[in-house]
Amino acid sequence: MNNNQQKELAKTVDELLMLVRESADFQADDDVRSVLLEASRAIATIRRRLAIVSDRYIVAVVGLTNVGKSTLLNALLGAELAPRRNGPCTAAPLEFAHGDSLRVTVYHQRSLTRPTWGCQDIEAIHDRLAAVADDAGDSASREVRKVVVESPIPLLTNGLVIADTPGFGAAQSAGAAGSHEAALKKYLEDDVSQVFWVVLAEQGIGKREKLFHDAFFGEVCDDIVVTGCDDWEAYDKERFRRRFADAFQSRMPRFHFVSGLQGMRARQAADSAGLEAAGITLLETRIRELIDCAGRIAAIQDTLLQLATDLRCWLCDYRDARRGRLKSWWRPDSWSRWSACMPDNAIKNRLSNELEAPL
């Protein structure tokens, strides 16, 4: 997709957002208004993803504490860059970005200073991260917002950034858990383009996890990574998918069944068959789709079209107190503007087909 096509898509999303917002104000029924407002928030999130698609595209690895996020990241990156332990070093997002050499940079909440350290090896990175964690509590003015680790890893090119995030549902004290979740929520809202949600096979997806997903990253999560399933057969994986199908309904994410520990061992042994058996190869292929702008755009388009499908389904099923169908989905002048907003293009035509009210 060239720059003109990207601008055209951005205009389409802007016009769609206006259509949905104005129609929410137009509708008298509280339920209909609420659903349209929910859709407008999702479209606004999609618009933010699109705005940064050619810049730093941050893929966040999100999940409960102790589900193996850091081990998974190390297997993907091919180096033990992410500290595999709980504690203060995981209280802020840890971004992995491309650089010509190993380097750690710290960003603070209330300070313009961005101290940077060059590191000779991975052990030096871990020492520096531990030191950052120890220093973070010295003063509220030096509270850590995020830490960026740069390294010359091929997967991290064209602005792709992979982030290890604070666990929610933490095993730490209530105060620490609360501060970690607050940092995570702000990061998801302000910075993240896409989420890979890590869940533990034996725990599945709990109610609290799903509520957090729905509230803070559902619109940007197209992938679920299941860890701790080393001995699962194909039928075990399919049973897991079916078990949670109802929770996602039509917006079913992709499931990836992986073993971070086996994948790391395979990396160290240069064992391509072992990497494939651990599920790392397929997951890496999925992430590589996001290295190029076209892959990022495709992911955004898929999310946008799925949202339109979900919205159409809800509006078609709606019945008022007298069991009557909704007479008008959209504010008339808003729909007219949407229909004439620009020359037809493939994505607009597909959206219009989904959103046009049945006769």
Q: Using pLDDT thresholds of 50, 70 and 90, give the confidence band for residue 134.
A: low
Same domain, 45 and 139: no
What percent of the chain has a predicted confidence (pLDDT) above 70? 88
By the 10 Å C-beta count (0-12 exposed, 13-18 middle, 19+ buried), 304 is classed as: buried
Same domain, 97 and 24: no
Same domain, 8 and 76: no
Residue type (1 letter), 96? F
- The pLDDT of residue 85: 52
pLDDT in tens, 5-55: 778 888 889 999 999 999 999 998 899 999 999 999 889 888 877 776 666
Report whether pLDDT(90) > 60: no
Three-class DSSP labels, 245-257: HHHHCCCCCEEEE
**Phi, psi for residue 160 in degrees, rounded to 5:** -70, 130
Same domain, 273 and 164: yes
Average pLDDT score over residue span 280-301: 85
Report whether pLDDT(245) > 50: yes
Look up the domain containing 140 and give its range: 57-278
**Phi, psi for residue 139 in degrees, rounded to 5:** -155, 140
pLDDT in tens, 203-227: 899 888 898 998 888 878 889 999 9
219, 245, 278 - which closes a domain: 278
CA distance 191 to 82: 20
CA distance 43 to 37: 10
Same domain, 61 and 7: no
Report whether pLDDT(252) > 70: yes
**Considering its fold, how many domains does the chain have in total?**
2
Query: For the whole model, what pTM was predicted?
Result: 0.74
